[in-house]
Chain A
Amino acid sequence: MSIIIVKNLSKSYPVAVKEPGIKGTINHFFHRVYRSINAVQDVSFEIAPGEIVGFLGPNGAGKTTTLKMLTGLIHPTSGTVKVAGYVPFLRQEAFLQKITLVMGQKQQLLWDLPAIDSLKINAAVYNISDKEFQRRLGELTEMLALEDKLKQPVRKLSLGERMKAELLAALLHRPHVLFLDEPTLGLDVNAQVAVRDFLRDYNQRYQATVLLTSHYMADITALCQRVLLIHQGKLMYDGSLDGLLERFAPYREVHVELAQPLPLEKLKIYGDVQHLEGRAACFMVEQESLTRTVSKILSELEVIDLTVTEPPIEEVIGRVFQAGVV
């Protein structure tokens, strides 16, 4: 039984268009022209309880709009959504108790007070008893390594600490479904790893379902077995990360260290040369001709070292979005 069910979901909204210049401004004042933007078009998917799913897409692809429909902040133009058995837009209390939304660029903690004060408010708002509050607070502070940070004013915390405190506030009511919009935005590598580890830990401990968007592919590769790829409002791929690579990147990178430097012309015959620097060369080779090409290189050139790697996932996805291939 799926915990998130999305069927033929679409959202379009009007945006006022203004021509440049004084004339445009005057026209804009008296006669506003609206253009309809199709932010999400006919998207369908289901997510099982306990899954961590990555939501990928370039800026403006419709990720945040979809998340907002799933949390009930915006009303779909058409299609249906069910999360944990509820229709999100009704925002029933029982539904709100089961979900959370974390937005990397928006915070809920009171800026000038220690985080603990905001947490107290959340505990009261979600009807968590004092005893239970202390217990969960202890548990989450330990998981997030936030000891003695909660008593400092939020404005004095580093970006990473603040994000962790935001996560603590968002998870205090122990939601079953987590919607995370860029939770690692702007964090340094260590803080990113800490947030990732925490999310994995939380998912395993409470069997929570996680739907996460991120521009850092490391977040996705570390956490998600399954990804949804959205582009221009349309769902382009739904499946495993490996499957994504196979489908959109049927090629491998062959890195070669040559005994002597060779000119580009001589290397071109073996495949698409990505870069060449001194004795190091990198070829892009289609998967079906990989064995043939590698043995040809080894037999015809003087090679010191040869490695075959998968192309970096960022590149693959970037290529998909650029080409618009499905």
Chain B
Amino acid sequence: MKKIIRKALILLSVYYAYMVEYRAELILWVLSGSLPIILMGVWIKASQGGNFGLSSVDFARYFLTVFVVRQISVVWVIWEFEREVVEGKLSLKLLQPLDPVWHHVASHLSERVARIPFAVILIVLFFLLYPQAFWLPNFRQLCLFTLAVSLAFALRFVIQYTFAMFAFWTERANAIENFWYLFYLFLSGLIAPLEVFPEPVRKIVLFTPFPYLIDFPSSILIGLPVDLTRGFLSLIAWILIFLGVNRWLWRAGLKRYSGMGA
């Protein structure tokens, strides 16, 4: 156990140093996640005209939270993994007594830490510009949100890492991710909160992994009605399903990788 903690700490600290090397890039990455802020403007405008069941302040809070959730759950493992496979760098990692995935996990987690200060500055700026949207979630909401958003990140990572496994069969695995992203965009709550979806659509969407990635944690934090049990169980179930597929593809992929001459 002590050894595992030591490994984790060293991986995290080194990858943190790695991420901080790209300070300017980090700011750009944070800003590139501001699609929710743009959509917020659209929905605030729309809410003043139509009847959506959510007020313009609700929309502002929702999309600000979506922005935060996106900052915490952004994942890019498929591009890194694909490069390692295509360039053959995976070979060197396979010769170390540590599953290569832990390098990716560490780099994602430490990037979160490097990113937080910039995201906080943006949030403060937002409340200065739009003070009527300011609210303080209670302690219970905060705890549940933290748990939900962590699981959402884990699910997003596992799903993308599963798609990344296809790099063993095709050199352009990220095409799968790009296709999947289209559904993610519309069904996760990134473009519109699930609250405003027509009821039958909403019911179907809740059987997919998408709404738990963004809408679920966001709704918890701003106090919209959510089915907590269903939400958390769905997150865990989807994580386990994709983890199973992932490990199966990993083993099959390694066999293929080695068969093709590594």
Q: Which residue numbers of A lie inside 8 Å of B, CB to CB?
A: 11, 13, 39, 65, 68, 71-75, 89, 91, 93, 96-97, 99-101, 103, 106, 108, 110, 112-113, 117-118, 120-127
Contact = CB atoms under 8 A, between A and B. Distances in A.
Contacts of A108: 89, 92-93
Given A121-B11, A125-B7, A39 B261 contact: yes
22 contacts: A13-B259, A13-B260, A39-B261, A71-B95, A73-B91, A73-B258, A74-B258, A74-B259, A74-B262, A75-B258, A103-B91, A106-B88, A108-B92, A108-B93, A112-B18, A112-B21, A113-B18, A117-B18, A121-B10, A122-B96, A123-B10, A127-B3
B97 A124 contact: no
Interface of B: 3, 6-7, 10-11, 14, 17-18, 21-22, 87-89, 91-98, 255, 258-262
A106 B89 contact: yes
A261 B21 CA distance: 68
Contacts of B94: 73, 91
Contacts of B18: 110, 112-113, 117
Contacts, number: 78
A117 B17 contact: yes
In the A-B complex, the 6 residue pairs with the closest CB atoms = A74-B258, A124-B10, A93-B97, A96-B97, A124-B7, A73-B262
State the majority secondary structure of interface residues on B.
Answer: helix
Contact of B95 (A11, A73, A117): A73
A75 B255 CA distance: 8
Nearest to A127: B3
Nearest to A116: B14
Given A13-B259, A91-B94, A125-B96, A110 B3 contact: no
A86 to B, nearest CB: 13
Given A73-B91, A113-B14, 13 more contacts: A13-B260, A72-B95, A75-B255, A106-B91, A113-B18, A117-B17, A118-B14, A120-B14, A121-B10, A121-B11, A124-B10, A126-B96, A127-B3
